Amino acid sequence: MAFTLYSLLQAALLCVNAIAVLHEERFLKNIGWGTDQGIGGFGEEPGIKSQLMNLIRSVRTVMRVPLIIVNSVTIVLLLLFG
C-alpha cells in the first residue's frame, strides 16, 4: 500500500463526507444516536457513546460549509485532470 499525501487527502475527504451524509432525523434517531438522546446531565463522565455522538454532531455542524467548497473544488479538478 503505497500512500501519497494526495490519497490521504482523498480518504479524509471521503470520510468527512460519509459523516456529513448521516441524516439526523431519518437515521440517527432510529438507531438511538440522535443528539437529543445523548446528553446525560453534567454529573458523571460521558461514556463513549455520547462522546461519539457529540463528535458526529460537531463534525457535521462545523464542516458543512467547508465541505461544500472542498467538494466543488475536488469535482472540478477531477473533471479537468482525471
Partner 1 sequence: MAYHSGYGAHGSKHRTRAAPDSPPLFDDTSGGYSSHPGGYPAPGADVAFSVNHLLGDPVANMAMAYGSSIASQGKDIVHKELHRFVSVNKLKYFFAVDTAYVAKKLGLLVFPYTHQNWKMQYSHDVPLPPRKDLNAPDLYIPTMAFITYVLLAGTALGIQKRFSPEVLGLCASTALVWVFMEVLALLLGLYLATVRSELSTFHLLAYSGYKYVGMILSVITGLLFGSDGYYVALAWTSSALMYFIVRSLRTAALGPDSMGGPAPGQRLQLYLTLGAAAFQPLIIYWLTFHLVR
The yes or no reply on residue 1 touching partner 1 (CB under 8 A) is: yes
Shorter beta-carbon distance to partner 1: residue 40 or 76: 40
- Single residue of 3, 18, 36, 65 touching partner 1 by CB under 8 A: 3
d(CA 81, CA 76): 9
The set of cell numbers assigned to 44 is 458523571
User: Whole-number minimum distance, CB 47 to partner 1, in Å?
Assistant: 7
* Site residues (CB under 8 A) for partner 1, limited to 33-72: 44-48, 51-52, 55
Q: How many Cβ atoms from other residues are within 10 Å of residue 60's Cβ?
A: 19
**CA-based angle 4:12:79, to the nearest 5?**
75
The yes or no reply on residue 5 touching partner 1 (CB under 8 A) is: yes
User: Whole-number minimum distance, CB 79 to partner 1, in Å?
Assistant: 25
* Contact in structure between 24 and 34 (CB atoms under 8 Å): yes
DSSP 28: I
Binding site for partner 1 (CB under 8 A): 1-5, 7-8, 44-48, 51-52, 55
